[in-house]
Chains A and B, each alone.
Chain A
Amino acid sequence: MSTQTHPTTRSDASPNTGPNPKTGTPPKLGSKSDRFATRVFGAAAMSFPTWAYVLFFFIAPVALVVFYSFGYKPDQFTAVATDQLSFDRYPEAMSGAFVTTFFATLRISVLGTILCLLIALPFAYWLAIKVSPARRSLALALVMVPFWTNFLVRTLGWQIMLSPDGFLSNWMQGLGLLDAPLDILYTRTAVQIGVVYNYLPLMILPLFVAIDASGHKLREASYDLGAGKVTTFLKVTLPMAMPGVVSGCLLVFIPLNGDYVTATVLGGASGSMIGQLIANQFNTAQNWALGAAMAMILIIATLAVVGIGFALLWLGRTIAARINSVQLTDGRV
């Protein structure tokens, strides 16, 4: 994921030496220059189907929605009209219910991402370092298995468990842990539990890969140089795991922010998320212009939060770099 967001960093992985057609160094042999031309042309041409697909089935539809967001709803039965374009839907979207739900959603998704990270970090560390390699494949597969089970089905599992008439509630009352039926279903807590659960594997995997890639040798070296466990974790393992943290947070935060299925199953009225509001504009209210404007605000806000995250990260790294004069190797995944 980190490579996608920094497209230009890719080239530093290319191990080419000598005359490098990729960097445009003039080739030594004249005959190679034609081949160079055909190959570059070949690569560009080869990307054409992917380009076309993305343009036709991503850019065009999204552009259409962007366009709709400047339209309006002319009457009850027409979803959108675009004969008069204006920015009016944006202030309309930002007023009233949307803003409250929006911040509630942001709270659920930011908190959810942080909880995922807190749960996954020690777990991934354990998986990568403390579990014997022989068992690691099995353990990893076990992490993947829930990911392979339909996420709605897993959410239903939670719905059953959290239900006030469910077995968990009855057991807890039977054991005297609760004196009234469990009152979690259809609350924000239920949504929080559900989203953390649903997106946890997406946090564990990149973290595991990053920590695993950091290698035992560096840690051993750190111990040999007299660093304690805590120091080693903070100064070796954690910095090396940073790319995993970044991609894990992105993988969790972005889909979580637009999720509304979990909220629909577990949240009732009080766990409603912004995705539901947007979906309602399309599914029931039939106000595409307003729904499109809300969707645009969601994208912009999501990117803004991601941007803020990256800015904080950059700040943290800069400060850390000042403190640690020793530069560790770049922790690429």
Chain B
Amino acid sequence: MARKNTFARRTPTDIALHVWGIIVFIYLFVPIAVIIAYSFNNGKVLANFQDFGLGAYISGINNDVIISSVVTSLQAALGTAIVATIFGTLGGVALARARRGALWALGLTGLLGLTLVTPEIVDGISFLPWFVTVGVDWGVSPLNNGLVRLIISHAMFSMAIVTFIVRARLAGIDTRLEDAAADLGATPWNRFKDIILPIAAPGIFAGALMSFTVSLDNTILSSFVQQPGYTPWPVYIFSAVRVALRPEVAAISTLMFLLTLLALAFVAVVLRKTGGSSTEIIKTMAP
């Protein structure tokens, strides 16, 4: 029906909207296209295109520091997704089952909301002294590890997102389902595992995906808590900006872009198999 509408009633407004849509898409993709184009720059400096070639790809892949920063980013993103998803799912389920007006639930919602409205830079400057206090002064030495610091700080950042997604997902379920299961003798664990989790699953998945993305993209927070040796990719680029950007940065970014596309395609295929639609997932993810 919608399709028929689209083509049958093409008013000037519709045409203007279509043009606008295309312009916005161009705007969204132009910088990415520029980076891809410049990744084939064989010159010494990224911004100064000299001649076409794959030199940047070869030296980028052979640059251990670049590769290790990409690996650090992926590790941190994976760790963040795991930590944020576990804590966020527990929080989301708990909030969804909370008695109306329960103080602990209001408090938790408020605090998580607060984590979302706190500017990232404030998180960044807070984390560094805190990690030093706990790690050095109190002797909790795991906190002196760069990867642990990245995961903890990123997870804090995305925990609220996971919690709220899971809670929203569970908000509509009938609590009588659980009551019925309990009447039939299901243990609390079984009720959690067999009723809550399957219903929450799409939300949990969306939350995990979101926290993975947020971690992979994070620059400001990471630049405060990062340690050399555990420099995530965005922070590597950020410090390269100040010296001289080499085309390798564009080459590796292009490769990561292609991998992202593949991963998205994979997710889309999985969703199609499991019966979810990507539109639904994106709707779940949009806060």
Contact = CB atoms under 8 A, between A and B. Distances in A.
Interface of A: 1, 3-5, 7-8, 10-11, 13-16, 20-24, 32, 35, 38-40, 42-44, 46-47, 49-51, 53-55, 57-62, 64-65, 68, 119-120, 122-123, 125-127, 129-134, 136-137, 139-161, 163, 165-167, 197, 200-201, 205-206, 208-209, 212-213, 216, 229, 247, 250-251, 254-255, 257-261, 264-265, 275, 278-279, 282, 288, 291-292, 295, 298-299, 302-303, 306, 333
Interface string B22-57: 001101111111110010000000111100000000
B253 A4 contact: no
Contacts of B101: 8
B122 A258 contact: yes
Interface range on chain B: under 10, 10 to 19, 20 to 34, or 35 or more? 35 or more
| A interface secondary structure, majority | helix
Given A254-B119, A257-B119, A298-B122, A161 B17 contact: no
10 contacts: A7-B113, A14-B172, A24-B99, A49-B90, A51-B104, A156-B245, A160-B34, A258-B119, A258-B220, A261-B238
A62 B118 contact: yes
Interface in B36-90: 38, 46-49, 86-88, 90
B111 interface: yes
Interface of B: 1-3, 6, 11, 13-14, 17-18, 20-21, 24-25, 27-35, 38, 46-49, 86-88, 90-91, 93-95, 97-102, 104-130, 133, 152-153, 155-156, 159-160, 163-164, 167-168, 171-172, 174-176, 178-179, 182, 188, 213, 216-217, 219-220, 224, 233-234, 237-238, 241, 245, 249-250, 253, 256-257, 260-261, 264, 268, 277-279, 282-283, 285-287
Given A58-B111, A133-B2, A157-B34, A264 B117 contact: no
A156 B287 contact: no
Contacts of B287: 1, 4, 206, 247, 251
